[in-house]
Structure 1
């Protein structure tokens, strides 16, 4: 899979409804994972909220989104991030190094509970970036 660049939108509890709406607009395939799918009892009341959603349209558009993590504040107008994802670890680590230099790292680039390497940072211009390096299937 080649690396890709696409928008990632944060929601305040209505990510499922929003992403289903966008599926109605753009068509395609929608994948939704909840906090409960990965967090078990730690997810608490947020268990049904969307931890990660991805819409891939037949036209080649990709839109990702999620509900804010439990305990974080939703800030409309500042609710979009840019996601870089793929399997080329060298390429994606290079982007990470450049984007995070002079910025603020919120989640260090490291192996995550879903099996991929993921990190999130805000660059020196205030733009939030998420980098996800997919583990290749054996």
Structure 2
């Protein structure tokens, strides 16, 4: 299985907006263009958080409009800059977008670790989340699978 991971786009509602003097949309477009040109036989795309910097609906629309051109299933997790309500509303309108834990492989499980702390620019793992991770790892071990932990 060939997976491509793209992460930390930090898009804004406006394509020309900059973060640390970098136009994030331009970097995102260059990355997707490079992947389309150079990577063949891709089975799926992993989008691993921080799609948006400002959490706007428009930034998620920019992302999904570009990502759908891969014509592959997209598996994603939220990042600490993402607005869950807005990203879910835009991404889940598309049938090819799925939660990363829906990515099935005979030898691997993909487990999302939610480290999002609403309103903060850093992550935190709650006690409840640690128990959730533990339970998922036990299930993976039961089926003799390797686990890939992905955190938002």
Which structure has more relative contact order (CA 8 Å, sep 6+)? It is 1
Structure 2 length-normalised TM? 0.27
Superposition TM-score, scaled by structure 1 size: 0.28
Which one has the bigger strand percentage?
1
